[in-house]
Structure 1
Amino acid sequence: MPEQKEAFVALVTCFNEDETINYDATRAQVRRQIEAGNNIMCAGTNGDFSALTFDEKVRLCGEVVDEVAGKAKVIVNAGMPATYETKLLAREFDRIGVDGIAVITPFFIACTQDGLIRHFTSVADAVETPIYLYDIPARTQNHIEPETARVLAAHGNIAGIKDSGGAQDTLEAYMAVGRDRDDFDVYSGPDQLVHWALTHGAKGCISGLGNVLPDVLAQIVSCVNAGDEAGAAAAQETYAAFRTDLYKLGFPPALVKRALYLRDPSVGASRQPALLPSPEQDAEIDAILKKYGR
């Protein structure tokens, strides 16, 4: 039987008007994703992780795991600029019990490839939960070169990588590492590459846009798993077209959150200093949602 592919949604973190976390609303978003058939990544880029405190991340992870209650997989991002704090967070998530700990490359601190190897190795040594490298150079200015990923893949507790770089050639290079090792899985981050990645060697995807279109994301994956290439391609076409229309308006995570907010205000706005939406932008987002029957 072919390997079953899987989708994770990089879940939004919901906020109250005073910018405290709305854990009840966040739990509701977890249930919505599980009902669609998706797994959960929390405290990632779409979850405003850089705006959360240490204690909030720990509680958020616990709330998500409790709500999931074994009905889906949970990956949580522990990455911080310093290896020291990353390990502290990872140990808390390890204690709570998750399926994987993603570690975004350090941001603000410029790293050599040797520095990245030391960083990820130290975190992987500190916990028992499998570690997933998380590459998103546009946000962190640090990039995991494919050969660095190959070195790290040899670590017994580094189980894969999430590629959010957006370059198909880099994703292909990561998947070449995965083809050489049956213990290193590749997850695609770019929403426009979900179908292509799943049919070219990726284990799954981790998508921010799935917050708004959870059913379409789940359909791409379920069709691939069922061998329905036409169905997967059609769902991907809808997903990519929505992405193009929405993301041309600005910063993707903020637009995903706002699109969700316009249909469910309980998710709240992002913490400041995130860009505040305008009535004109809201009207454009609303038109896009209606165009796609949302």
Structure 2
Amino acid sequence: MTSTAFVALVTCFDNDENLDLKATRAQVRRQVAAGNAIMAAGTNGDFSALTFDEKVRLLDAVKDEAGDKVPVFANAGMPATYETERLAKEFDRIGLDGIAVITPYFIDCTQDGMERHFARVADAVQAPVYLYDIPARTQNHIEPQTAARLAKHGNIKGIKDSGGAQDTLAAYLEVGRNAADFEVYSGPDHLVLWALQNGAAGCISGLGNVLPDTLAELIAAFDANDLARAEAAQARYTAFRTDLYKLGYPPALVKRALWCMDPSVGASRQPALVPNADQDKAIRHVLAKYDIA
């Protein structure tokens, strides 16, 4: 069985912060050329700064550009179940390979509330649904026992863990081992290889926007059972992550690092990161350290 690396694709904007679908399509082609799958409208895709209609337009373009060359997932998660279901249905119409659903944010949820939330969305669409846990951003966390119950739903097929805690990822992997058809994807970029070695189906990585070839190399080496090569790719990935994320908020820094390489991607929508000459200089120093053009 081959592993899958999804890149949590950036969303591109023009200088007036309008959605730039031409530039976004170029980023899709770049990832497809590297052999990476696409996860759009996620944390690294400025999803919380996009309108409902923009998300639909974005995924129409991303899926059209990717075609059937690589799988395409998108995050449909919103604070309320009602709007999450509406967006998931639009993504289903587009024909995505999977619909990720981030835990509700702003609303303080019980485990029962989240279970009902995810089940209702999964009932409403044909595409497989994937849970998306990132408690540092949403303040809601899917307990492993809740994930185990949801894994029994016929249309909930896995989880993306972006919590960053290895023990939680291990607990989700145990859920996957005990379920008939439930995949676990690692979100933390420093745990990609560890997750693969412990049964993960793959990863969903923001850093792949900047290092698509390193991510693809890590996955290919692991699948080829070339541990030394996989470890070398993971070491480069982790070291770059450490150096870049010292500078501030990770998703905005990924986008800004990509902007330093290719300004066509545009800045993040405000107020995520105000462009700063000193910070851009520090980012370029990190890029140069790793010989990234």
Same fold, TM-score > 0.5, yes or no: yes
Determine if the alignment matches structure 1 residue 157 to structure 2 residue 124. Answer: no
* Counterpart contact for 2:6–2:39, Cα < 8 Å: yes
User: What residue in structure 2 maps to residue 62 of structure 1?
Assistant: 60
Contact 2:148 / 2:179 at 8 angstroms: preserved in 1?
no
1:176 to 171, 174, 177: 174
Partner residue of 2:8? 10
Shift of 1:275: 2.1
Residues 169-197 of structure 1: CA distance to partner in whole angstroms, max 9, x if unpaired? Answer: 00000000100123000000000000110
Return the match for 1:92 from 86, 90, 106.
90
* 2:144 alignment partner in structure 1: 146
Q: CA deviation at 1:230?
A: 0.4
TM-score with structure 1 setting the length:
0.99
**Who is 2:49 aligned against?**
51
Cα distance in 1 for residues equivalent to 2:239 and 2:83: 39
Q: State the alpha-carbon separation in 2 of the partners of residues 187 and 198 from structure 1.
A: 9
Deviation, 1:82, is 0.3
Indicate the residue corresponding to 2:267 in structure 1: 269
Task: Name which of structure 1's ranges 81-90 and 173-182 shifts more when overlaid on structure 2.
Answer: 173-182
The residue number in structure 2 matching 1:76 is 74
2:23 maps to a residue whose letter is: A
Query: Residue 223 of structure 1: CA displacement?
Result: 0.3
- Once the two structures are superposed, residues 255-277 of structure 1 have per-residue CA deviations (whole angstroms, 9 ceiling, x without a partner) of 00000000100000011122203
Partner amino acid for 2:8? A
Aligned equivalent of 1:258, options 249, 256, 276: 256
C-alpha separation in 1, matches of 2:38 and 2:56: 15
Which region of structure 1 is more displaced relative to structure 2, 139-148 or 267-276?
A: 267-276
Distance in structure 2 (CA, Å) of the matches to 1:223 and 1:98: 28
Q: Aligned residues: percent identity?
A: 70
Gaps of 5+ in 2: none
Q: Which whole-Å CA distance do the structure 2 matches of 1:263 and 1:94 have between them?
A: 34
CA positional deviation for 1:69: 1.2
1:131 is aligned, of 122, 129, 132, to 129
Q: Which residue of 2 aligns with 1:228?
A: 226
Aligned match of 1:288: 286
d(CA) in 1 for partners of 2:215, 2:180: 25
Are 2:205 and 1:207 aligned?
yes
For the residue of structure 1 that corresponds to 2:7, the secondary structure is strand
For 1:30 and 1:102, the matched residues in 2 are separated by: 18
Query: Aligned letter for 2:31?
Result: Q
- DSSP-derived class of the 2:2 partner: coil
TM-score (ref. length: structure 2): 0.99
Distance in 2, matches of 1:93 and 1:33, equals 21
* Aligned AA (1:259): A
Amino acid at match of 1:268: G
Whole-Å Cα distance in 1 between the matches of residues 125 and 184 of structure 2?
Answer: 21
| Amino acid of the structure 2 residue aligned with 1:192 | H
Secondary structure class of the residue paired with 1:19: coil
Give the AA of the match of 2:278: E
Letter in 1 for 2:27: Q
Post-superposition shift, 1:131? 0.2
Q: Answer yes or no: is 1:19 the counterpart of 2:17.
A: yes
- One-letter code aligned to 1:251: Y
Q: Distance in 2 between matches of 1:269 and 1:210?
A: 18
Gaps of 5+ in 1: none
Whole-Å separation in 1 of the counterparts to 2:252 and 2:269 = 10
C-alpha root-mean-square deviation of aligned residues, in Å? 0.5
Aligned to 2:240: 242
C-alpha distance after superposition, 1:147-180 (max 9, x if no partner): 0000000000000000000000000000001001
Contact between 2:13 and 2:268, CA under 8 Å: does it hold in 1? yes
What residue is the counterpart of 2:116 in the other structure?
118
